[in-house]
Amino acid sequence: EMEERQEIKTLVYNMPGSPAAPYPYPIVSPKQLPRDYVVWSLVNSSFMNVAFLGFVALVFSFKSRDCKVVGDIEGAAKYGSIAKKLNILALILGIVFFVIIVVMIVQTRMFTSVCPAVTLRQFRQF
């Protein structure tokens, strides 16, 4: 039903002698709009910006949002999909690096607590 209304509005505004369209952009219902993942990209670029993947995802998110504003739904879906994949990759790499750092800290503290005579400075000389 929404598509029929869209087609009717387009037909009415494209007929000769019809009034001008109220705005130059096509009318798109909110259900048809693809996601742009801007908030997720902001979080990834702020907290887990591994290899600047969060920033690159943010750029693609803004491109997707720009395409939505202009009415290019296919372009918005394409850039939104790329932003989603980059956000997933940035999240996975951020979690992996966080776990690696925690494991390294725990191992260093366990080693110094087992052998208190060996200091960190002596441990680095090995």
Question: In sequence order, which ranges of 51-72 are alpha helices (DSSP H)?
Answer: 53-70
* 12 and 68 in a common domain: no
* 70 and 50 in a common domain: yes
* 42 and 8 in a common domain: no
Element (H, E) at 79: helix 73-114
Question: Given this model, what pLDDT does residue 24 score?
Answer: 56
Of 33, 29, 2, 27, which Cα lies nearest the Cα of 14?
27
Q: How many domains does the chain have?
A: 2
Quote the pTM value: 0.64
* 65 and 19 in a common domain: no
Question: Given this model, what pLDDT does residue 30 score?
Answer: 55
* 40 and 59 in a common domain: yes
Residue 126 placed within a domain: no
Question: Given this model, what pLDDT does residue 49 score?
Answer: 84
Question: Given this model, what pLDDT does residue 57 score?
Answer: 95
* 54 and 25 in a common domain: no
Residue 125 placed within a domain: no
* 85 and 24 in a common domain: no
* 59 and 20 in a common domain: no
8: domain range?
1-30
52: left (phi over 0), alpha (psi -120 to 50) or beta: left
Instruction: Tell me the mean pLDDT per 10 residues along the chain, length 126.
Output: 52 50 55 87 88 93 94 93 96 93 86 60 59
